[in-house]
A = this chain, B = another copy of it.
């Protein structure tokens, strides 16, 4: 059992929790909690850490199938990203998707996210996208790291199943989609047409922008059409995950009726 927070493995776990750069360098990320750890595709788990208390409470379970280290409760709490740790975390191999796995699929239904900053929003969008039948998500480099612990938690497991890619050259990636006949719709408060007047049953991508500033002009300009969601009352804008939900489920509705 590891009892010191100055242990090299413990220090590495702390680094992996905090630093997106370290995660990228090592091509791994950390998943916490019983439920989220239970959903990890088996071949992606590199190692597992449990707290002493967790080990005692789960003495009957087979923890030997995966390489598992026990941490003193205090040490586990030090490593954990949550206030009330469940006592189990895994170091997981990143899944790397090619652009083709997102673009070159049957009747693509793609999300393009430009500069999303809020971890909860990004995670919720992944979860909602899987439910709506989205085939893949393209993100600009300015988006929050998908492997940020808060994002992982709010995906509720969709992170393991939804193909995604960070695009260094977002405009270039959008160009490739257009070459393949994908219709690109930018969600924009000044959009000319109401979102429910367009046809999303064929190859479709939705672009959603940053929480405060929306889509960058040069990215929005690449869209085939700007669409807006009609709003009542004095609401200035919708939360980006909410706006994405409206668009994704309208597309899902149309695609069911096709």
Contact partner, A158, options B230, B233, B246, Cβ 8 Å: B233
Copies of this chain per assembly? 2
**B196 and A233 contact, CB distance less than 8 A:** no
**B256 and A230 contact, CB distance less than 8 A:** yes
Chain B residues with CB below 8 A from A238, complex form: 127-128, 131
**A8 lies within 8 A of chain B by Cβ:** no
CB distance from A234 to the nearest CB of B (A): 6
**A233 and B130 contact, CB distance less than 8 A:** yes
How many of chain A's residues have a CB under 8 angstroms from any CB in B?
A: 34
Contact partner, A131, options B156, B162, B233, B250, Cβ 8 Å: B233
From known contacts A242-B245, A246-B245, infer whether A232 and B132 are also in contact, taking CB-CB under 8 Å.
yes
**A232 and B196 contact, CB distance less than 8 A:** no
**A235 lies within 8 A of chain B by Cβ:** yes
**B196 and A235 contact, CB distance less than 8 A:** no
Chain B residues with CB below 8 A from A162, complex form: 233
Nearest B residue to A120 via CB reads B120
**A124 and B239 contact, CB distance less than 8 A:** yes
Give residues in A with beta carbon < 8 Å to B: 120, 124, 127-128, 130-133, 156-158, 161-162, 194, 196, 229-236, 238-239, 241-242, 245-246, 249-250, 252-253, 256
Seed contacts A132-B231, A194-B256; 13 additional CB < 8 Å A-B pairs: A124-B239, A124-B242, A131-B229, A133-B233, A156-B235, A157-B235, A196-B253, A229-B249, A241-B242, A245-B245, A245-B246, A245-B249, A249-B249
